[in-house]
Amino acid sequence: MRLSVSFWCLAIFGLLFIGGVASAAVPGEKWVQTTASAGFPDRAGHAGLVYDDKMWIIGGSTDSGITALNDTWYSTDGIHWIQATPSAAFPARYEFSALAYDGKMWVIGGYDCKAPLNDVWYSTDGINWTQTPSSVRFNKRMAFATAVFNNQMWVISGYDGYFAWGDVWNSTNGVNWTLANETPGFNSRSGLTAAAYDNRLWVIGGSKGHTALNDVWYSYDGVQWTEATAAAGFAPRAGHVSPVYDNKLWVIGGTDPDRTMNDTWYSTDGINWTEATPSAAFPARFSFPGLVYNDRMWVIGGASTAQSTVGNDTWYASADEMGSRSGIVDSGYWLFILAVVVILAAVAAFVLLKKRKTEQDSNASKKDLKDRHHRNKKK
């Protein structure tokens, strides 16, 4: 009986523990603000990257496209930001892309408040920038996507001010660009994201004209593309970010013609998407960078619901800051487990005491019966 009670106590405790951890194994729900106002000016349409063990913020627009920037900033904690240069050699721009590749930081394309661009620049310190010579290159564009995949830089889709593109380009040196596929299968679009995940190159969402998209595509070589889903679980959107974190592909924030979002979603296959939170702690936003740095996902600045409002706040989510579904079970859950264990221990003690009392009563009854039998024999 004692073994049975102990077994069930341990079994129930184990199930509660496993269930709690399983239900709490995903970051992206709880977000922490490192600063409401970073050292750099408010902006949207800027680019971000991780290079030289620092987070970098480059360019953007402070007033929804009227004025563009070409400053560069870096931080190692998301709180303190240091300006590398107030005016880089490349023309001021927004809705461009930046990435780290081949030991360099790269700035590609965008819009300079007058026309789209297709220039390519690189730097090893964020201060001194060099333009690559013109060669075979993609058309001028903004609001396109880039990624590093198969040891190449990739430029995908975008918008030239009149038409959206749907082409895919790659380069190993930033000078010579190869057209991998002019019509890859997915619609021409802008405001999309691209990511390298699970040995594949992914394209997620964006917009075609005034129609937001939520389709997901992938390719093993950047040439042949397969549609993972025509309509993912998250709402159609553009201007979102898609970091790769915790062995998952993420979709965070973005906008459609009717609203701006601050939900977060993740997937391990690009087909099935799970919502980590419908409303993160950070205000809804679009045209912002999403970075992975120091084992955290970061959201930095961007445009809010009102397109004239831009910000410079910084937020992060990580396994160290998870709520009830994000890795570290909250105190309420542990109190619940403790209460259950106490109750089970009390029940076990009661059962054992009752069993002992029953055994004592039984022994007493047997002794009394034996005594009576002994007295009857003497008679």
Cα–Cα distance list, 12 to 6, 17, 231 (Å): 10, 9, 40
User: Which of the two residues, 341 and 172, has the higher pLDDT score?
Assistant: 172
The mean pLDDT value for 344-359 works out to 67
pTM as predicted: 0.81
Q: How far apart are CA 228 and CA 374, in angstroms?
A: 88
The pLDDT confidence band at residue 178, using thresholds 50, 70 and 90, is very high
Residue 1: which pLDDT band, with cuts at 50, 70 and 90? very low
The answer on pLDDT for 19 being more than 60 is: no
> In which band, very low, low, confident or very high, does the pLDDT at 63 lie, cut at 50, 70 and 90?
confident
Q: Count of residues for the chain?
A: 379
List 226's β-bridge partners, or say none. 218
What distance in Å separates the CA atoms of residue 373 and residue 368, rounded to the nearest whole number? 9
The closest alpha carbon to 217, from 248, 245, 193, 241, belongs to 193
* Predicted local distance difference test score (pLDDT) of residue 328: 40
N-to-C CA span, the chain: 42
**Distance separating alpha carbons of residues 47 and 153, to the nearest angstrom:** 16
Flag whether pLDDT at 13 surpasses 90.
no
Find the range with the poorest average confidence among 70-79, 84-93, 118-127, 329-338: 329-338
Q: Give residue 250's identity as a one-letter amino acid code.
A: W
The pLDDT tens digits for 278-303 are: 999 999 999 999 999 999 999 999 99
pLDDT over threshold 60, residue 16: no
Closest to 304 measured CA to CA, from 274, 284, 328:
284
How many CB atoms are closer than 10 A to CB 12?
15
Domain 26-321 architecture: 6 Propeller (2.120)
pLDDT for 45 equals 96
CA distance 108 to 148: 13
In the sheet with 97-101, reading across from the earlier edge strand, the strands are 97-101, 104-111, 116-123, 130-131
What does the alpha-carbon distance between residue 283 and residue 77 come to, in Å, rounded to a whole number?
21
